[in-house]
Amino acid sequence: MDTGTGEAGGPEIAGTPTGQGRIILAATPIGNVGDASSRLVELLSTADIIAAEDTRRLHRLVQALGVTVSGRVISYHEHNEATKTVELLELVRSGKTILMVSDAGMPAVSDPGFRLVEGAVEAGLTVTAVPGPSAVLTALALSGLPTDRFTFEGFLPRKAGERSARLAELHDERRTMVFFEAPHRLEPMLRALHERFGPARRAAVCRELTKTYEEVLRGSLQELLQWAEGNEVRGEIAVVVAGAPAKEPGRPEDNVAAVNELVSQGIRLKEAVAAVAEEARVSKRELYSAVLAAR
């Protein structure tokens, strides 16, 4: 295992070797500028380099915080990540501290930053983080849906066919799912969720989190789709969807055909029964008896 410490088997440490710079991923407010941490404020004023997804948004943020930037500002976004990553890693090697910020929330989570972290890890350079606001966790916490296990799915594909294929993969997902979506695509997204998961599945649409017009709508996919159809939705959107309900155990006799299909493929009867029983969550003994009785 690559520990990043030079000690086999040890944990990865965020400490910085003497003479070497470091990369700091810093979470920025997702709406309310008052959520900026004191560490973020300090680093914005002291970092050697600030790699920003949008330099104009960075300028507005530091202006709102009353911060004077002393370091160099570099534009770092999805269209120049490949080339800029090489440049930034060289700056870290030369001893510079680079502060990475995205438009909102934590860099590298559905935002630029992953390539930089990946490159730093491969090069043995130090990466640490200043945690803070997260649209994913805020939406999850406000949704009223189970939070003990969840998955972040980001933006669904724009094309209907690709979106349908992705949702098919998530059809049996038991964990609560968190998505991002653009306001003008919310209605077709909710329609696709409605078609794949059914009208009764519980969900929440979280809009403009932490901002003046924050809104969280909770209900069935049917209710949320009807709301989206009748409203001009604006702002930044997170959609939280309940996971699939647990499957009810089937009856042994309902699975006889599946066992016979495996046997016809050359699998021994006992092995076929065991495989089907585990998948269908039925008793192996009862399924075996049902197969023999059907013969």
pLDDT in tens, 46-95: 999 999 999 999 999 999 999 999 999 999 998 898 899 999 999 999 99
State the DSSP code for 218: E
Helix axes 114-123, 81-93, angle to 10 degrees: 40
Pairing mode, strands 22-26 and 97-101: parallel
Statement: the pTM of the whole predicted model exceeds 0.95: no
pLDDT at 17: 54
Q: Give, for 238, the enclosing helix (H) or strand (E).
A: strand 237-241
237 and 141 in one domain?
Answer: yes
Q: What is the CATH number of the domain that holds 122?
A: 3.40.1010.10
| Closest by Cα among 203, 228, 79, 195 to 146 | 203
φ and ψ at 217, to 5 degrees?
Answer: -110, 130
2 domain residue, yes or no: no
118 and 48 in one domain?
Answer: yes
pLDDT at 20: 76
In a 10 Å sphere around its CB, with 0-12 CB exposed, 13-18 middle and 19+ buried, how is residue 21 labelled?
buried
φ and ψ at 103, to 5 degrees?
Answer: -60, -40
- The domain boundary, picked from 70, 100, 133, lies at 133
7 domain residue, yes or no: no
Q: Measured between alpha carbons, how far is 280 from 142 in angstroms, rounded to an integer?
A: 35
Q: Measured between alpha carbons, how far is 257 from 291 in angstroms, rounded to an integer?
A: 8
- The domain boundary, picked from 86, 101, 133, lies at 133
Contact call for residues 229 and 186 (beta carbons, < 8 A): no
DSSP H helices, the chain, are 38-46, 55-65, 81-93, 114-123, 135-142, 160-169, 186-197, 221-229, 256-264, 269-280, 284-294
57 and 118 in one domain?
Answer: yes
For 123, the token pair is 């090069």
Given a cut of 50, whether residue 13 has pLDDT beyond it is no
- The domain boundary, picked from 107, 133, 159, lies at 133
Question: Of 11 and 249, which is predicted with more confidence?
Answer: 249
pLDDT at 18: 53
Question: Tokens 């990865």 correspond to what residue?
Answer: 12
Q: Measured between alpha carbons, how far is 152 from 254 in angstroms, rounded to an integer?
A: 35
pLDDT at 78: 87
119 and 37 in one domain?
Answer: yes
126 and 30 in one domain?
Answer: yes
Amino acid type, 2 = D
Question: Of 183 and 254, which is predicted with more confidence?
Answer: 183
Q: What is the CATH number of the domain that holds 181?
A: 3.30.950.10
Question: Tokens 């702002």 correspond to what residue?
Answer: 235
95 and 29 in one domain?
Answer: yes
Pairing mode, strands 237-241 and 202-207: antiparallel
Query: Strand order of the sheet with strand 237-241?
Result: 150-155, 176-181, 237-241, 202-207, 215-220
- Full domain range(s) for residue 287: 252-294
148 and 119 in one domain?
Answer: no
221 and 266 in one domain?
Answer: no
In a 10 Å sphere around its CB, with 0-12 CB exposed, 13-18 middle and 19+ buried, how is residue 47 labelled?
buried
Given a cut of 90, whether residue 294 has pLDDT beyond it is no
Summarize the confidence of residues 205-224 as an average pLDDT.
Answer: 96
